[in-house]
Amino acid sequence: MERAAADEWRGWREATEEALYGPSGFYRRPEGPAGHFRTSVHASPLFAGAVARLLCHLDAVLGHPDPLTFVDMAAGRGELVTGVLAALPADVAARTRAYAVERAERPAGLDPRIAWLTEPPRGITGLLFANEWLDNVPVDVAEAGPDGVPRLVLVRGDGTERLGEPVTGEDARWLRTWWWPPTGARPASGPPPDATPRHEAPHPTQTPPDPAPIHEAPRPPGPPSDPAPTQEAPQPPAAPDPASAPEAPRPPGAGASHGALLAPAEGARAEIGLPRDLAWASAVSALDRGLAVAVDYTHFAGGRPPFGTLTGFREGRETAPAPDGSCDITAHVALDACALPGGRVLTQRAALRALGVNGARPPLALASTDPAAYARALAGAGQGAELTAPGGLGDFGWLLQPVGLPDGLRDFPDAVLGETPPTGASGHGRLLVDVPDHEEQ
């Protein structure tokens, strides 16, 4: 980073944009995201296999289009899209047009079937999948001053901060709607607040209820991406009016305001998520028909962290965020704010279990009849348990956004993901299976 920029006071959004994606940015490095943290994609090939099954279910619902498109947003070095293509049945793979969307250069040796773009193609039919993209879309940070007025937090390259001018305009409206609403303005939604940060280095964790071993539960920030298109593209939809913005369904046990005043106290902080809402709306608009999925660590209205979640990550360890290009800069995503009409947020645990991934041990009898198969199944159970672990990757949110699906499949009131329609059912089968209410967010 240039010395002048390092000494300049800027908002976190501008500073992060340069630190992550500028010419010398963190995500321009040759080692890629996997050199610094693990996502679900890196944790196990079971994740790519589950996404491939979701694509197959969607293919059947859409009537087996040719081409069937798969878009991997924030593709890193193409690990997910490569794994999905490898896991698809041959007949589906033959019709699948695969795209990796990423700002970094195309990695050497990538499957030639994969097109490498800086923004998603338009007018597609299929699945757009954004695994840990939105958490790396840069946002500004607000902090309440002594008078309780939210002010923009300014930062220098070394991470030193000071308060700037009051937050105004659309950013202020977003804060009032989604983070610090007036008394009684909006019922809270989402799961109970998570007291622990979601971007720690991989570490041992307690064994979840699934009867399978877990060796670590990584808390990774997301892979890099191009949060703002660099080429001329169709304009994204206008920001929704907060007064009529859709609310995420509220599950049992969700944190609730019950009309309590949520005005910020001095020192309270918030990440202003409007750029992420717009980035998601733009990505979803690339679909003519299909499903868009955003996977990320998240929080919900009524349970926002009082001091925000902005942090840094370097070489497998959490670190103080400094926009100097030396570390990742990430923050949890308000998926309830991102959701467009018809969207639904589930836990990763519920989504993956619906797609056949869990941490259940194989039957012990298999160890006697086929020891090698038992060992493989046991390893898979451990990986599945990590991907679905409470307090770990299993608590990530999956925002499901259907676009142009047939009547009866446009909404997700009580279910997600699942059953393939009967053979020959062109677009009239079920994409969905029921999940427990407490797994919906």
> What three-state secondary structure class fits 170?
helix
pLDDT score of 120: 97
**Which residue matches tokens 């046991």?**
378
pLDDT score of 26: 87
User: Which ranges in 270-342 belong to alpha helices (H)?
Assistant: 274-284, 335-338
Burial class of residue 274 in the structure, from the number of CB atoms within 10 Å of its CB (0-12 exposed, 13-18 middle, 19+ buried): buried
Q: Give residue-wise pLDDT tens across range 163-198.
A: 999 999 999 999 999 999 864 444 344 433 333 333
pLDDT score of 420: 35
pLDDT score of 236: 42
Instruction: Write the CA distances from 252 to 121, 142, 343, 394, integer angstroms.
Output: 39, 30, 19, 18
* DSSP-derived secondary structure letter, 65: -
pLDDT score of 167: 96
- pLDDT tens digit at each of 441 positions of the chain: 555 556 899 999 999 999 999 988 888 877 655 555 567 777 778 899 999 999 999 999 999 999 999 999 999 999 999 999 999 999 999 999 999 999 988 999 999 999 999 999 999 999 999 999 999 999 999 999 999 999 999 999 999 999 999 999 999 999 999 999 864 444 344 433 333 333 333 332 233 333 222 222 333 333 334 433 333 433 444 444 433 334 444 333 333 333 333 468 999 999 999 999 999 999 999 999 999 999 999 999 989 999 999 999 888 788 999 999 999 999 999 999 999 999 999 999 999 999 988 877 767 777 778 777 767 766 666 767 777 878 887 789 999 999 998 654 544 333 434 333 323 333 333 454 444 444 555
pLDDT score of 97: 98
Gyration radius from the chain CA atoms: 21
**Which residue matches tokens 């877990």?**
214
pTM confidence score: 0.76
| Vertex 248: Cα angle to 247 and 254 (nearest 5) | 115
pLDDT score of 264: 85
pLDDT score of 133: 96
Alpha carbon 139 to chain centroid distance? 15
**Which residue matches tokens 């299993």?**
394
pLDDT score of 310: 97
Paired strand residues for 71: 99, 128
Angle between helices 45-61 and 371-387 in degrees, nearest 10: 80
Hey, what are 197's tokens? 């940060």
Q: What is the dihedral of CA 168, 174, 180, 181, to 10 degrees?
A: 110
d(CA 59, CA 37): 32
Spatial neighbors of 126 by CB under 8 A, at least 6 apart, are 55, 58, 59, 62, 65, 67, 68, 69, 70, 71, 96, 97, 287, 290
Burial class of residue 194 in the structure, from the number of CB atoms within 10 Å of its CB (0-12 exposed, 13-18 middle, 19+ buried): middle
Q: Give residue-wise pLDDT tens across range 371-427.
A: 777 677 666 667 677 778 788 877 899 999 999 986 545 443 334 343 333 233 333
Hey, what are 68's tokens? 């069937």
pLDDT score of 387: 77
pLDDT score of 170: 97
